[in-house]
Structure 1
Amino acid sequence: MAQKPLQNYIPALTGVRAMAAYLVFISHYAYAFDENFPRAVQRFLNEFHIGVTIFFVLSGFLIAFRYFDSFKLTGDWFKQYLKNRVARIYPMYFLLTLGAFVSYYFTHDQKITNGFANPIGLFFMHITFVRGFFDQLKFTGIAQGWSLTVEECFYFSAPFIFYFAQKYRKFYIQPVIVTLAGATLVLIFSHVDWYGFFGNFTFMMLYTFLGRCFEFFAGIQLALIVRKQNLDGQSKSKYTYLGFALIFVCVGIMSVLPIPKGEVAGLHNPFGIITNNYLLAGSIALFFYGLLTETTVLKKILSNPFVELLGKSSYIFYLIHLGYMYDFMHNYFNKWNDDIFELYDKWGKDWVSPFQYDALNVLFAFILLNAISILLFKTIEEPLNHYIRKSDFLIKNKPRNPENNAEAIKA
């Protein structure tokens, strides 16, 4: 089936990226509001890691929508496909990961290496995405970058998922097989002391593609449902708000589950894993179906040009919101706070510093991180993306190839 790229471009799906990144940001900095909110609200905010699931379902949808009807298991097709994936994901990840290890050289921040003896070797594990297979290394470097290992596994698997779905019509059995493969690896390696390589079931289910594959399959199934529909936004259904409400019902469920010892969220409870990986994925797919087929106030907000810009730069925001760049800002906020109070002492004043409140500092950082993300997107990420797609990297560029020029729903 031939797609109509311009007709099918849904800006709201780009806006969703910003929403997902901001939810993850809130989950990481909810502690700043400890004194202002009850414990139940704190628990609720801690489960906003759901932004990662939103990213995974969205990736499944976008890749399937764009490639399911056109993929070919040929060398040239794979080269073009991988070229597009590299252009989209790799340049900023490489540069920001390099920044993390340069930062380690000067600061010796143990969060970056987690005691790993060879920083250079760890750096190569990061830029090849393999660190995400090791429980003890998953939060090293750019901590949140573990999710890119999951994404890359999906990117490599997607053409084969599509092939088996078309050839054998056994689409629903695939996530079962993939998850069982993950369980088998845990049974094999759980007693091997190799930095936690598939070391336990919780790690496998929450931090690897084998455990989280259903989220991508939910997005793929959505693409198969809507790819032959006219996405004109004229549906009068209420799936947008129903899906949106169910997303936060799932958050509520996880927020009341007992937190296993040593963990920080109900997500790590076995029922939390089921809620996050399966119930939440279905709710997000329902929400996306509403955005694709209906016209609502929420869709208009997510489609706003500025929100769309935030969505385009949200990949960078996600990579920098936690780690050395935020720590750099936080250190300066503390320094400025001390300097201001020293100045007040000289003046004999008992005034308030704008940097004395954690909640305000988090807000300042949020604004600065967004500004930095937009700047890096405009000056580095977008130009490099276009340059790689137009280059002869992996395969000679074909200027008229819609793979390089499409402004359709962006994968």
Structure 2
Amino acid sequence: MAQKPLLTYIPALTGVRALAAYLVFISHYAYAFDENFPHAVQRFLNEFHIGVTIFFTLSGFLIAFRYFDSFELSSGWFKQYLKNRVARIYPMYFLLTLAAFVSFYFTHDEKVTNGFASPIGLFLMHITFVRGFFDQLKFTGIAQGWSLTVEECFYFSAPFIFYFAQRYKKFYIQPLIITGIGALLVLIFRNVNWYGFFSNFTFMMLYTFLGRCFEFFVGIQLALIVRKKKLDGSSKQKLTYLGFVLIFACVWFMSTLPIPKGEIAGLHHPLGIITNNYLLSVSIALFFYGLLTETSLLKKILSNKFVELLGKSSYIFYLIHLGWMYDGLHFSFNWLNDWVFELYDKWGVDWSSPFQYDNLNVLYAFIILNGVSVLLFKLIEEPLNHYIRQSNFLIRNKKRAVSV
């Protein structure tokens, strides 16, 4: 086997998490830029969902970088592995999902349930990550949480992917088989009316692990390449910037594609799916390779302590940037706007309100949500993460676990 990686933590890749989360945020609020910019700019920003592809490729890399040479298909190893994954993902997801459904109890916001008859049943589907297999339910609860179903499928699959990669060597066959299984499920269930369970190929390719597995495999392949290298930043190849440019070339191309009826982005066009799932992930891997092997201004920025903190709290930011918390901020900005204009009427002045512009309100929300994310990370997520890792959950703790 290859030598175990010398590094277990890479600050620049933590900063990348913040970049990915912010790209997704921009894609969801691109409408705020439509009035003052050409429509082509909004189309371009609308394709910043690529942050999700960055997350998936990064997950493939980190899990393989940490575990490929040390995994065991044994009960003890698997329990420790799952314990680490639960500590990293589950506490904040559970708490924020619970908050979303508590909010639904008071607001009856149909976005949370999308007409599903049993909110309690849907909540159980959320906390067990199975709602992500159903097209009609993928955006319920925490809408962006569908991607965690994809992540969890990868986490469960990763040890077996590593096993078959080591035993049979033909690594490239695995994503073909996995995507083929997804296609078979669509052929079986596309005429079954069960909340859109694998109901169409677009859903399977964009919202399930079976369709998006290639992104994780690209990350794994990158880990297998760099695990033998000294990641000392001495390379002069400039791949960091080449990868970065290629990423946004993919964004531009998707922004030029016709948007299928009923959809909102070029991502949903067949060429958009190919670009996002395949070409983009390779570009991202090239970008990561540059960050790992080169010293660049972009690497220094992403490794900055403040950016690193934003990266550590970006998981929470990702979970709260859509849904009840943002809706509450939006309501507050509207109330403040009305209050400010009432004051202006009393004063007899005709001034602009700081809350009357959508783009400024989006910026305010961005700043506030980042502040909330950092607070929740420091006060809840980080302590719970450490507590679970050091507890006897699933397996008795023998030594302090190493964070991934």
TM superposition score category, shorter chain reference: over 0.9
Counterpart of 1:224? 224
Task: Note the alpha carbon deviations across 1:15-65, whole angstroms, 9 max, x for none.
Answer: 000000000000000101111110111100000000000000000000000
Give the whole-Å Cα distance in 2 for the aligned partners of 1:144 and 1:117: 21
Task: Note the alpha carbon deviations across 1:320-344, whole angstroms, 9 max, x for none.
Answer: 0011100000000000100110111
Task: Note the alpha carbon deviations across 1:84-132, whole angstroms, 9 max, x for none.
Answer: 0000000000000000000000000000000101000000000000000
SS state at 1:405 partner: coil
Task: Note the alpha carbon deviations across 1:351-395, whole angstroms, 9 max, x for none.
Answer: 111000000000000000000000000000000000000000000
Counterpart of 2:71? 71
Give the whole-Å Cα distance in 1 for the aligned partners of 2:173 and 2:52: 24
Give the whole-Å Cα distance in 1 for the aligned partners of 2:217 and 2:97: 29
Counterpart of 1:311? 311
Is residue 109 of structure 1 aligned with residue 109 of structure 2? yes
Unaligned runs of 5+ in 2: none
| 1:242 CA drift (Å) | 0.4
Is residue 61 of structure 1 aligned with residue 58 of structure 2? no
Is residue 260 of structure 1 aligned with residue 260 of structure 2? yes
Structure 2 length normalisation: TM-score?
0.99
Asked if the contact 1:313/1:377 (under 8 Å) is kept, the reply is: yes
| 1:8 CA drift (Å) | 5.1
What letter corresponds to residue 382 of structure 2 in structure 1?
Answer: E
Give the whole-Å Cα distance in 1 for the aligned partners of 2:297 and 2:385: 32
What letter corresponds to residue 290 of structure 1 in structure 2?
Answer: G
Task: Note the alpha carbon deviations across 1:167-186, whole angstroms, 9 max, x for none.
Answer: 00010000000000000000
SS state at 1:398 partner: coil
What letter corresponds to residue 257 of structure 1 in structure 2?
Answer: L
Counterpart of 2:176? 176
Give the whole-Å Cα distance in 1 for the aligned partners of 2:398 and 2:140: 39
Task: Note the alpha carbon deviations across 1:276-300, whole angstroms, 9 max, x for none.
Answer: 0000000000000000000000000
* 1:30-69 equivalences in 2 (<5 Å): 30-69=30-69
What letter corresponds to residue 3 of structure 1 in structure 2?
Answer: K
SS state at 1:355 partner: coil
Between the two proteins, what is the percent identity of the paired residues? 81
Give the whole-Å Cα distance in 1 for the aligned partners of 2:379 and 2:190: 44
Unaligned runs of 5+ in 1: none
What letter corresponds to residue 155 of structure 1 in structure 2?
Answer: Y
Query: How many residues get paired?
Result: 403
What letter corresponds to residue 136 of structure 2 in structure 1?
Answer: Q
Asked if the contact 1:8/1:231 (under 8 Å) is kept, the reply is: no
Give the whole-Å Cα distance in 1 for the aligned partners of 2:346 and 2:300: 52
| 1:399 CA drift (Å) | 1.6
Give the whole-Å Cα distance in 1 for the aligned partners of 2:52 and 2:9: 22
Counterpart of 2:402? 405
SS state at 2:172 partner: helix
SS state at 2:194 partner: coil
Structure 1 length normalisation: TM-score?
0.97
Asked if the contact 2:80/2:395 (under 8 Å) is kept, the reply is: yes
What letter corresponds to residue 83 of structure 1 in structure 2?
Answer: K
What letter corresponds to residue 85 of structure 2 in structure 1?
Answer: R
| 1:346 CA drift (Å) | 1.1
| 1:2 CA drift (Å) | 5.0
Residues 102-111 or 347-356, more deviating = 347-356
* 1:4-403 equivalences in 2 (<5 Å): 7=7, 9-399=9-399
| 1:3 CA drift (Å) | 3.3
- Deviating above 6 A after TM superposition, structure 1's stretches of 4 or more consecutive aligned residues are none
What letter corresponds to residue 101 of structure 2 in structure 1?
Answer: F
Asked if the contact 2:5/2:227 (under 8 Å) is kept, the reply is: no
